Amino acid sequence: MTKKQAPPQATIRRLSVYLRYLSGLENDGAKVISSQDLAGYLALNPAQVRKDLAYFGEFGKRGVGYSVKKLRDHIIKILGLQQVRKVAIIGAGGRLGRALALYTGFEKRNFKVSALFDNDPRVIGTVLSADAGEICPIENLPRIVKDRNIEILILTVPAQAIKEIYDLIMLSGVQAVLNFAPFKLISNENVVVNNVDLTTELESLSYHLRLKEAGEPLPTTDSTEEE
C-alpha cells in the first residue's frame, strides 16, 4: 500500500450513503457485497466504489467482495460516528429550526440535539425536548457550547441575523456548522461549513423545467443531472 492522498469531499459523502445501505443489508442478513452490487444499487460506477474505499485501506477480498459487517464498522470509524456528536440549533424558534429540534432521526444516527438558541424573547425559555432543554438567548452561545461540549451548530436563521451571530459562532470555538440560512458561509481553518440552500435547490430545478419548456427533445445525449 502506497502513500495515500486526501479523499475528495464527494467520497466522504458517498461513504455516508454506503453506510446507510450497508446497515440495511446487515439487517437483511447479507454477509458479503461486491462493488458491482453496491454501485448498481446507487447508480454509481463500481470502480468508483472501490476507489472510495481504497482511500482508507484494503477492506475487500479479491474474488469475493467486502464483508458487510466489517465494511460498515470501518466506515463508522472513518466518519467518526462511534461517539455521540452533540449538536445545537440556532434559530430553534423558526419553523425549520423547530422541525429539526423535534426530528428524531438524528438520534438514530448518533447525533444528539443538546442545546437550542433563538433571539426572539417570545420563544426563549420554551422547552421543545428534554435533552435540549429550554431555548436560550443567542448571547449565551459561546458559554453553553463550551459547557455542553457542542461540536456541531445547525443554523436556521433569517438572512439578516448573520451579522448578529457570526462573531458569536467564531467565539464559541465550535468546529463544524451546517448552514440552512440563505447566505453562503465560508469554511475557514477553524470551522468547516456545509451549506444547504433550499432556494437554490428549487431554483436549479426551475432551470431544468425551463429547459424542457424550451423544447430540447434532443438529438445529442444530454445528461445535465447529477446526484
> Which residues contact DNA by CB under 7 A?
1-2, 8-11, 34-36, 44-48, 50-51, 53-54, 58-66
Smaller CB separation from its own copies, 69 or 106? 106
| 27 belongs to the binding site for its own copies (CB under 8 A) | no
For the record, the C-alpha cell of 190 comes out as: 477553524
Q: Minimum CB separation from DNA for residue 103, in Å?
A: 28
- The site for its own copies, by CB under 8 A, has a size of 73
Smaller CB separation from DNA, 44 or 81? 44
Nearest one of 156, 136, 163 to 148, comparing CA atoms: 136
Tell me the CB-side half-sphere exposure of residue 143, using CA atoms within 13 A. 5
| 9 belongs to the binding site for its own copies (CB under 8 A) | yes
Query: H-type helices in the chain, by residue range?
Result: 9-27, 35-42, 46-54, 68-78, 95-102, 105-108, 141-148, 162-172, 198-213
- Write out the binding residues for its own copies, residues 168-207 only, by CB under 8 A: 175-178, 182-189, 192-207
47, 102, 127, 171: which one binds its own copies (CB under 8 A): 102
Q: Minimum CB separation from DNA for residue 10, in Å?
A: 4
The one-letter amino acid code at 93 reads G
Element (H, E) at 127: strand 127-129
